[in-house]
Amino acid sequence: MHSYYARANTVFFTAVYSLAAVGVFYALLKVSKPFKGELIRFDNATVDEIMSDRYDRFVFPLISLNLAYDLRGDWDYNTRSLYAYIVVSFDGDHEQHDMIMWDKIIMSKEDAVFNKTIENRYILFNDDRSIFGKEVTISFRYQIQPTVGFQRDFVFPNEQKVLIPDRKSQ
């Protein structure tokens, strides 16, 4: 080596490449880690009311259900946050509709336990009225957002099905 600058440059970038290799190795290990979240209760899904706009063009079903989960098992030193959410899905006239009904951002391990009866946080907006008379599927999902590594998604196999009544039957 010809100078102190060249030597310092070599040492510095060798350390940076080593840290990058360790980071990639760690991220690959986290991808293979199994999910440990626990869905305790996910039942009693009911359609409480079907609202519409003033001109009766758009419909907004209000759904409630019991939800209890414990996601503390997925919290470790690398977890920045967890994103828990409920998706309502149904087959429309031409395509599959997926709408988020409720969500929660979990920023600490203590907040990763939940046990309540929930209702829509967001309006289930459907502008083509194809939701009437259809059976919707409600599923609970969550994402692990790490400080270092890849974001991972998990869908619990437990699903609730509820029938949205036809407008004529109300």
Residue closest to 35 by CA, chosen among 156, 140, 158, 159: 156
pLDDT at 169: 53
Site of tokens 């990639």: 24
Does 168 score more than 70 pLDDT? no
DSSP assigned state of 126: B
Does 140 score more than 70 pLDDT? yes
**102-112 pLDDT, tens digit each:** 999 999 999 99
Intra-chain end-to-end CA distance of the chain, in Å: 85
**Residue 167: pLDDT band with limits 50, 70, 90:** low
**16-67 pLDDT, tens digit each:** 999 998 878 777 776 667 788 899 999 988 888 888 777 777 778 889 999 9
Contact partners, residue 145, CB within 8 Å, separation at least 6: 79, 80, 81, 82, 83, 151
Mean pLDDT of 154-165: 90
* Distance, CA of 52 to CA of 50 (rounded, Å): 7
* Distance, CA of 74 to CA of 153 (rounded, Å): 12
Across 46-50, 136-140, 147-151, which has the greatest mean pLDDT? 136-140
Tell me the whole-structure pTM to 2 decimals.
0.78
Of residues 138 and 51, the one with the higher pLDDT is: 138
The three-state secondary structure class of 135 is strand
Of residues 24 and 84, the one with the higher pLDDT is: 84
**Residue 72: pLDDT band with limits 50, 70, 90:** very high
Mean pLDDT of 94-101: 87
Of residues 140 and 5, the one with the higher pLDDT is: 140
* Distance, CA of 150 to CA of 26 (rounded, Å): 10
**123-134 pLDDT, tens digit each:** 887 776 777 788
Residues 99, 88: contact at Cβ < 8 Å? yes
Site of tokens 């359609």: 47
Written in H, E and C, the secondary structure of 11-40 is HHHHHHHHHHHHHHHHHHHHHCCCCCCEEE
pLDDT at 65: 94
* Distance, CA of 91 to CA of 94 (rounded, Å): 8
